Amino acid sequence: MAVKLKLKNDDDCYGWPIISLHWLMAVAVFGLYFLGLYIIDMSYYDPNYKTLPHWHRSLGMIMLFALGLRLLCRCVDRAPRALPGHGHATRLLTKTAHALLYLLMLTALLSGYVMSSADGHAVAVFNWFSVPALPIEMHHQADRAGMLHYWSSTALIALSCLHALAALKHHFIDKDSTLTRILGIKRETP
Residues that bind other proteins (CB under 8 A): 43-45, 115-116, 118-119, 121, 140-143, 146
Nearest distance from residue 110's CB to other proteins, in Å? 16
Nearest distance from residue 140's CB to other proteins, in Å? 7
Catalogue the E-assigned strands of the chain. Answer: 2-3, 123-125, 129-131, 185-186
Using alpha carbons only, give the angle 155, 100, 152 rounded to the nearest 5 degrees. Answer: 30
The span from the CA of 88 to the CA of 160, in Å, is 22
* Closest to other proteins by CB, 32 or 145: 145
* Closest to other proteins by CB, 142 or 183: 142
Residue 97 neighbours by CB under 8 Å, 6+ apart: 159, 162, 163, 166
* Closest to other proteins by CB, 42 or 73: 42
Nearest distance from residue 133's CB to other proteins, in Å? 10
* Closest to other proteins by CB, 15 or 146: 146
The span from the CA of 137 to the CA of 47, in Å, is 32
Nearest distance from residue 116's CB to other proteins, in Å? 7
Nearest distance from residue 118's CB to other proteins, in Å? 3
Express the helix, strand and coil content of the chain in percent, nearest 5 each: 60, 5, 35
Helix (H, G, I), strand (E, B) or coil at 123: strand
* Closest to other proteins by CB, 44 or 172: 44
* Closest to other proteins by CB, 119 or 188: 119
Nearest to 64 by CA among 98, 105, 101, 122: 105
Nearest distance from residue 61's CB to other proteins, in Å? 15
Strand-pairing partners, residue 179, are none
